[in-house]
Amino acid sequence: MRHQPVLLVIAHGSRDPRHAATVHALVRRVRSLRPGLRVETGFLDFNIPSAQGVLESLAAEGVRDVVALPLLLTRAFHAKADIPAVLRDAPRRLRIRQAEVLGPSPLLLSALERRLYEAGLTPADKSSTGVVLASAGSTDPEAIAVIADIAREWWHTGWCAVRPAFASASLPRTEDAVRELRELGCSTVAVAPYVLAPGFLPDRIARGATEADVLAEVLGPSPEVARVLLERYDAARTPMLAAVGA
């Protein structure tokens, strides 16, 4: 059997218990898609186990290779600074490779559409529906540009219009994007949260969607998100396997 690095999913963490519950549900789906792959979960803050604690436990067990996967949709501060700092402090016996963040990915667009259809839309509604792509927000210009690019790409699949919005740090807010789509003439306005788990900022998105016709659920443990995790894991583990000749 080929050597398989352990997959360590690193989530941000939240005081909201729904966040950790959703992360664990997503990890369970990942395990169901890849039986035999060891998948662990660690958090940067608020929840246990901590990412640092999981790394120390793995080293104590004798594990050698780990793929650390940021449970993030964009390469903002946590992916560029917080997670690399945790990995630098990991036990030296571990060989760790940080995987890419989840977004952007066509699978995530499929997950967004799945959530909108679950909320009541149908494919026949696309041409008359304006969508707010509502993300958590960031002070990182790269992350903001990625959200804008995703909105443009998604619009080209047939929606009346797609506008990005942000719950914090950046503008416009969800409610402003909803009003813009109304003024544009879209007969239906839907809000699609581009977030992985419930919490403070997703709740702010929901409050900003009160004038919309449709509010989708967060991405959560959807099968498309689980598949993206495995894609990122496979891309990160390939050079590790080559290095050990597995």
**Whole-number Cα distances in Å, 4 to 59, 181, 239:** 15, 47, 12
Mean pLDDT of the chain: 95
Please report the pLDDT score of residue 239 as a whole number: 82
Confidence of residue 1 (pLDDT cuts 50, 70, 90): very low
Sequence spans of domains, the chain: 6-102+223-237, 106-215
The pLDDT tens digits for 185-223 are: 999 999 999 999 999 999 999 999 999 999 999 999 999
Please report the pLDDT score of residue 78 as a whole number: 80
- Alpha-carbon distance 72 to 225, whole Å? 11
Domains 6-102+223-237 and 106-215 share a fold: yes
Crossing angle for the helix pair 17-33 and 223-244, to the nearest 10 degrees: 60
Closest residue by Cα to residue 166 from 184, 200, 193: 193
pTM equals: 0.94
Please report the pLDDT score of residue 150 as a whole number: 98
* C-alpha torsion 224→228→229→233, nearest 10: 150
Q: Which residue has the tokens 């967060």?
A: 218
Confidence of residue 243 (pLDDT cuts 50, 70, 90): low
Other CB atoms within a 10 A radius of the CB of residue 30 amount to 23
Other CB atoms within a 10 A radius of the CB of residue 190 amount to 26
Better-scored residue on pLDDT, 2 or 138: 138
The pLDDT tens digits for 84-127 are: 999 999 999 999 999 999 999 999 999 999 999 999 999 999 99
Confidence of residue 2 (pLDDT cuts 50, 70, 90): low
Q: What is the largest CA-CA distance in the chain?
A: 61
DSSP structure string for 57-112 = HHHHHT--EEEEEE--SS-SHIIIIIHHHHHHTS-TT-EEEEPPPS-S-HHHHHHH
pLDDT above 90 for 32: yes
Provide the terminal-to-terminal Cα distance of the chain, rounded to the nearest Å. Answer: 9
> Under CATH, what is the fold of the domain 6-102+223-237?
Rossmann fold (3.40.50)
CATH numeric code, 106-215: 3.40.50.1400
The pLDDT tens digits for 56-90 are: 999 999 999 999 999 999 998 788 999 999 999 99
Strands 214-215 and 161-166, how do they pair?
A: unpaired
